[in-house]
Amino acid sequence: MPSGSLIEARGLVKSYRRAERSLPVLRGVDLSVSAGEFLAIMGPSGSGKSTLLHILGCLDSPSEGRYVLDGRDVTQLSDRALSRIRARHIGFVFQTFNLIPSLTLQENIALPFAYADLGDDFQARVQRSMAQVGLAERRDHLPSALSGGEMQRAAIARALAVGPKLILADEPTGNLDAGTTRDILNLFASMHAGGATIIVVTHDRDVAAAARRCILLTDGVLSGA
Ligand SMILES: Nc1ncnc2c1ncn2[C@@H]1O[C@H](COP(=O)(O)OP(=O)(O)OP(=O)(O)O)[C@@H](O)[C@H]1O
Ligand SMILES: [Mg+2]
């Protein structure tokens, strides 16, 4: 494995069963991502982008192939072991924000710590990550009191709070207007400048242009990797 490589995926295949048939969604994906890279993945709807991101984020396992994350082969790990890796090392940002409506912002942002067991200083980290996205004043608000852009900033604060090695974002600006998209891009740029490794799935050319490298997934096969 090249030094500094955070992700080494080889021959990833993912198939789903549908009506007694096996439907291949990823058909042999090879991908290397260095620590500190900012990578965009584009491709048509249904090409397997979210499926790939879920495997890279240890939310799902490949049907075939090998996935080495930060020097550790995670291909065959149990769900429990995968969830431990997720909680400590990976931050997720989704198109629909996925905030819990009955929890305040700071409670939402503190949630990953319940899974990660990262010690007592987590409140300080929660406050710091809320300040980073400009939401410190809104800590006691419920998500319903926020605009879409603010909700996405809160979701980013949640992804950042544990200090993950890897940030994965699936269409993070899909529900936002152009101005708010720029705010989110600025946040990604500053996370990248701070050393984070970021992989973003997007249909938005401006978002892809902000990344240093862009690869295309078509019918479960990557090009430009
Ligand atoms: N859990 C599942 N069970 C069965 N089929 C699935 C499952 N998840 C995804 N698929 C199928 O796999 C294919 C790829 O889905 P995926 O969500 O990865 O595409 P995508 O590139 O993210 O598309 P979009 O741009 O619309 O989000 C689709 O045909 C989808 O229906
Ligand atoms: Mg998708």
Cβ count within 10 A of residue 8: 18
**Mutation test residue for ligand 1: of 13, 41, 50, the one with most atoms within 8 Å of CB:** 50
Confidence (pLDDT) at 1: 47
Instruction: Please choose, from the candidates 165, 6, 168, the residue with its C-alpha nearest in 3D space to the C-alpha of residue 72.
Output: 6
- Which tokens sit at 154? 């809160």
Residue minimizing CA distance to atom 18 of ligand 1: 48
Burial per residue of 64-94, b for 16 or more beta-carbon CB atoms within 10 angstroms, e otherwise: ebebbbeeeebbebeeeebebbbbbbbbbbb
Residue minimizing CA distance to atom 28 of ligand 1: 46
Residue minimizing CA distance to atom 12 of ligand 1: 25
- Provide the number of structural domains found in the chain: 1
Ligand 1 atom closest to 48 (CA): 18
Report the phi/psi class of residue 6: left, alpha or beta, with left for phi > 0 and alpha for psi in -120 to 50.
Answer: alpha
CATH number at residue 135: 3.40.50.300
Specify whether the CB–CB gap between 203 and 42 falls below 8 A: yes
Residue 134: inside a domain:
yes
Residue 16: inside a domain:
no
Residues with CB under 6 A from ligand 1: 16, 18, 25, 43, 45-51
Residue minimizing CA distance to atom 4 of ligand 1: 16
Confidence (pLDDT) at 225: 56
Nearest ligand by distance to the CA of 63: 1
Residue 98: inside a domain:
yes
Residue 172: inside a domain:
yes
Confidence (pLDDT) at 19: 83
Alpha helices in the chain (DSSP H): 49-56, 79-89, 105-116, 122-132, 148-161, 178-193, 205-210
Confidence (pLDDT) at 118: 66
Distance 54 CA to ligand 1 centre (A): 11
Q: Look at the pTM and tell me if it is higher than 0.85.
A: yes
Residue 25: inside a domain:
no
Residue minimizing CA distance to atom 7 of ligand 1: 16
Residue 23: inside a domain:
no
Residue 223: inside a domain:
no
Ligand 1 atom closest to 54 (CA): 18
Ligand 1 atom closest to 53 (CA): 18
Residue numbers of the domain that contains 116: 36-58+78-214
**pLDDT tens, per residue, the chain with 225 residues:** 455 799 999 999 999 988 888 899 999 999 999 999 999 999 999 999 999 999 999 999 999 999 999 999 999 899 999 998 998 899 999 988 899 999 999 999 998 887 776 666 788 889 999 998 999 999 999 999 999 999 999 999 999 888 898 999 999 999 888 988 998 999 999 899 999 999 999 999 999 999 989 999 999 999 875
Confidence (pLDDT) at 64: 96
Ligand 1 atom closest to 52 (CA): 18
Residue 90: inside a domain:
yes
